[in-house]
Amino acid sequence: MTKSPVLILGARSDIGKAVAHRFAALGHPIQLAARAAETLDAEKTDLALRYGVPVTLHEFDALTTDRHEAFLALLPELPAIAVSAIGLMGEQRESERDPHAASHVMRSNYEGPASILALLANRFEDRGSGTLVGISSVAGDRGRATNYVYGSAKAGFTAFLSGLRNRLAKRRVHVVTVLPGFVATRMTEGMDLPARLTARPSEVAEAIERAVARKKNVVYVRTIWWLIMTVIRNIPERAFKRMTI
């Protein structure tokens, strides 16, 4: 039986690559979308040879929102599943002092991903099927001094996905929000991350594939993060504002 295509937005990221391998291993054709997409040719060849599936490359810039319609029009086929692995952590101190840096972080984590998923949502709704997966962050569960610019953008993206899920629930379009917590990627390289709280990209990919298959709505990749963020969300503001976490 022929499987439907999976579109990976942000395919250059470690998580994006892991997701591509996970779904290709199940026989899905893969559409890799990223900036300078031609530089992913080796990844394309590896996926195609390793799993025997069609793989295509597509030039995509999340921040060039006025070109998102044209990007979708050039896809060889509307995917059945679209995964947004787009994101930029940035540096909190730089974002505090440079509004352009802050805007870049906010647009990369909210505006760009929301724009392309909104367009895909309309097409999936018209078709009456499909799954949209947005990788957000536990950082969006509550603003903290150490990363509130990044966290605020992820909070917006989480709310966007929640609203999209509510809107599309009766249209047979499934929306998944993925909250990975720490992930060992190039973006977190050099950070001292606790092993128990840090997932591998392959774990995130597995959680996404499982959520798609089981039609889960919100997924904490490691369950301990649900407990941690529940505690953090419920700390009274009077005490929370004096804390450094």
Token digits of residue 59: 């030039």
The Cβ of residue 148 has, within 10 Å, a number of other Cβ atoms equal to: 16
Q: Annotated catalytic, 51?
A: no
pLDDT value, residue 196: 83
Structural class in CATH, domain 6-240:
alpha beta
Q: What is the pTM of this model?
A: 0.94
Radius of gyration of the chain (CA): 18
Q: Using CA atoms, how far apart are residues 82 and 14, in angstroms rounded to an integer?
A: 16
Residue 170's pLDDT band (cuts 50, 70, 90): very high
pLDDT value, residue 95: 97
Token digits of residue 230: 């529940």
Orientation of helix 112-127 relative to helix 148-168, angle to 10°: 10
| Catalytic-labelled residue, pool 51, 110, 150, 220 | 150
34 φ/ψ angles, rounded to the nearest 5 degrees: -165, 170
**Segment 200-213, tens digit of pLDDT:** 999 999 999 999 99
What's the mean per-residue pLDDT of the chain?
Answer: 95
Q: Using CA atoms, how far apart are residues 67 and 85, in angstroms rounded to an integer?
A: 18
**Segment 113-153, tens digit of pLDDT:** 999 999 999 999 999 999 999 999 999 999 999 999 999 99
Q: Where are the domains of the chain?
A: 6-240
The Cβ of residue 233 has, within 10 Å, a number of other Cβ atoms equal to: 10
